[in-house]
Amino acid sequence: MTVLALAAVPEPPPRREHASRSEYESWVRSTFPGARGTVSSRLFFYKRFVERWPDLEEWFAAPLLVRLDLGADAAAGPGMRRGTSHEAGSYLAYLALTHDMPMDADWVLARNFDSLFHPRVAPALGVDLDLLNTLDQRQQQLGYRSGRSALTWGVARLVLWKGDPDITAITHQDLVSFSEEIRRWSLLPEAAVIRAAHIHSTRRVHEPPVLVSQFEKASLSRLHSLHVLMFNTGQISEPPFHGLKTRELWREELTPADTPPAVAAPVNRWLAGRLQSTDRAESVRNARDAFRYFLRWLGQSHPEMANLAELTRSHVESCLSHLHQRINQRAAILPREQSVGMDRRPSPASPRPLGPAETCHAVAPLHPQGRAGSVHAVHRRTGRPASTGCPAPLALEWSPPRRDRPAGP
């Protein structure tokens, strides 16, 4: 008998089937006693969905936009939409949480689930509302002011994606895997259409691709907040780091990947030496970030440089001039006549360049490396370090003489 014959054959996943009408009707009537309108509408949506998709596997295999009742022109339509699949969302949530039927991340991230935590619906689906309220209170104690919606957003999608209503069963691996699903979903060609369909055209101020980027950032932020919360309650033992990445990752990427080896080697050696010293990790990381910015600029402005022995002080001064002229949109302010009576908020219409203090602060972590002599060839040739405490002559504006001192001739 061969080894292949002894190998266990994996069982195929169980076939996904509809719930019977009697089962679903019994659940709806017990969940909404006396609410005739709610009962009739939910049963109507169930009947219409089952008639349209008698084989549930075909619905899961259908294109995402079809499963969401979205056409190619959905970006120009209103935010609220109707359709066989869309209005059967409550029935599909019932299947996911009562029949152990995990939903795919594409569908979960493309919909809203506002009714999942209704006081009548949640207990009937097995969701612990008391635990959710406890998490919400703890969230407020930690200083999160985004409200309950950020908490319910993550919990609703995770339990549906797992097909398990138990909030305490959410693990660190679930958060990491779902964050990867969010990034993958944001790259789908249908994502722009879906996000535009969530916002009414009269309130839409950004193009669909921008809406997708905003959704990805907001979703990862909500997932990170949930990680922080569950770490503080003891449910997850792994410490939370922004982006669900360990902070050790930056130690493995000290310089950009496209940096020439001869240029990256002394920088990697110097930063690795600081990591083994008594320097604080935050200080080493600041130096690493400054070096990565400088090396990226060096690769774009001087791609011919293959070794740090070719680095001169003029290169550093050119980088500082680039930083000084770089437009800082966050530091932009409104003109004085436009800011009277209102908050001085950033405005892209009136940006200003980085000031001298900001420019020096951006490259300050480079100074110890220049003094340490990792570029001795520069020192021997020029007699001056490439980077010092005052590395560049910044442009100074003329200031009038002080009144207590006579003006010069």
**Lowest pLDDT segment from 1-15, 16-30, 89-103, 153-167:** 1-15
CB-CB contact of 287 with 368 (8 Å): yes
- pLDDT digits over 311-348, tens only? 887 887 787 777 766 655 444 443 333 333 334 444 44
How large is the C-alpha radius of gyration of the chain?
A: 29
pLDDT of amino acid 22: 94
pLDDT of amino acid 45: 94
pLDDT band at residue 73 using 50, 70 and 90 as cut-offs: very low
pLDDT band at residue 252 using 50, 70 and 90 as cut-offs: confident
CA 315 to mean position of chain CA atoms: 35
pLDDT of amino acid 268: 85
Query: Does 39 score more than 70 pLDDT?
Result: yes
Alpha-helical (H) ranges within 200-312 are 208-233, 249-252, 261-275, 281-301
**Rounded Cα–Cα distance for residues 211 and 203 (Å):** 12
DSSP string over 343-356: -----TTS-EEPPH
**Rounded Cα–Cα distance for residues 114 and 198 (Å):** 14
- pLDDT digits over 218-243, tens only? 999 899 989 999 999 999 998 887 65
pLDDT band at residue 71 using 50, 70 and 90 as cut-offs: low
Query: Does 256 score more than 70 pLDDT?
Result: yes
Calculated CA dihedral for residues 399, 402, 408, 409, nearest 10 degrees: 90
**What 8-state DSSP symbol labels residue 233?**
H
Residues of the chain with pLDDT > 90, as a percent, come to 34
